[in-house]
Amino acid sequence: MNENIISNLEQVTTEWLTAVLTHNGALTQGTVVEFDVTGGRGNWSESGSLQLTYSPDAQGERPSRLFLKMVNTDTGDGEFFLPSEVDYYLRDYVDVPDAPLLRCYDGRYSPTIHRYHLLLEDVSASHTIACDKLPSLEYGVALAEACAILHGRWWGAARLAEAGAPIHDAAHIRRWVAIAEPGAGHIIGQLTGELQPHWPAAIRDLFAHHPQAMINRSQDANGFTIFHGDAGCYNIMVPREGIRPIYLIDRQPFDWSLTTWLGVYDLAYAVALHWDVDTRSHER
């Protein structure tokens, strides 16, 4: 393993799993003697669902299922993922009680080979992505509480400075907008028949004037924090039964992404993009 990074499922062994779980206290005695693995893929990652079997003398938490995520941070087209997801689990919120994060048993990032891996608890038996459940007011409140727990840790200029995560400058904001802007052209060009007559002009006007409004707003640190940035329903795990606990997963920004911004962005992103108009109106 190059720099102890797991980059494919063939590198996973019972010895590695035993060492990792022993190191973080999840296994206090005994060993992992075998495991079954099912491979998978995400938009930007490879993964494996692991089902573990332990020796008869094993003691400790002994998780029976784990989820391994493996990411090549070099997309091959001049863009890179930041090591943000490793920091998400192992640095940014480790001192925050009840943070809506999965338990992380191991995570490593290598700037040399542009890769990282995460070994996480597997909650697929009890949870599903939020896209699979109809939103409700109760769910909206639980999501707002989950976001507030994360946002509160790094809220405001002083804490952002402590984290080494300053508010982005004008050049970074303009680059972020410029990368998104071509998508608006595709929408206008391909979905003209589905858009209201005034929408194309409104979309163009948004890209003409909103970047400067964002830059102006960034001069006031009130409300700014480290945020998730992609809190869509596909990145929120919700219980199959009930509302809590909620987990926010896959904080995986590109090097051009915004990583500090207004905390309310995450909640607005989750609701405005993935709740239909009738649901938003009914549950407000």
pLDDT at 1: 44
- Whole-number pLDDT of residue 264: 97
Mean pLDDT value across residues 201-226: 96
pTM for this entry: 0.92
Q: Which helix (H) or strand (E) holds 32?
A: strand 32-41
List pLDDT tens digits, range 67-125: 999 999 998 888 889 999 999 999 999 999 999 999 999 999 999 999 999 999 999 99
Q: What is the pLDDT of residue 279?
A: 79
Angle of helix 170-190 versus helix 199-217 axis, rounded to 10: 170
Higher-scoring residue by pLDDT: 274, 19: 19
Contacts of 41 (CB under 8 A, 6+ apart): 47
Q: How confident is the model at residue 284 (pLDDT cuts 50, 70, 90)?
A: low
* Residue 40: per-residue pLDDT: 87
Cα Rg, the chain, nearest whole Å: 21
The answer to whether 105 and 20 have CB atoms below 8 angstroms apart is yes
pLDDT in tens, 13-48: 999 999 999 999 999 999 999 999 999 888 788 999
Dihedral over Cα of 194, 199, 200, 204: its sign: negative
Q: Is-contact 140 282, C-beta < 8 A?
A: no
**Phi and psi at residue 125, to the nearest 5°:** -70, -30
Spatial strand order in the sheet of 236-239: 127-129, 236-239, 247-248
C-alpha torsion sign, points 271, 244, 247, 88 = positive
pLDDT of amino acid 116: 96
Supply 219's token pair: 């001069």
Cα(152)–Cα(163) distance, integer angstroms: 13
Assign a CATH topology to domain 2-121. Phosphorylase Kinase; domain 1 (3.30.200)
3-class DSSP state of 238: strand
What is the model's pLDDT at position 21?
A: 98
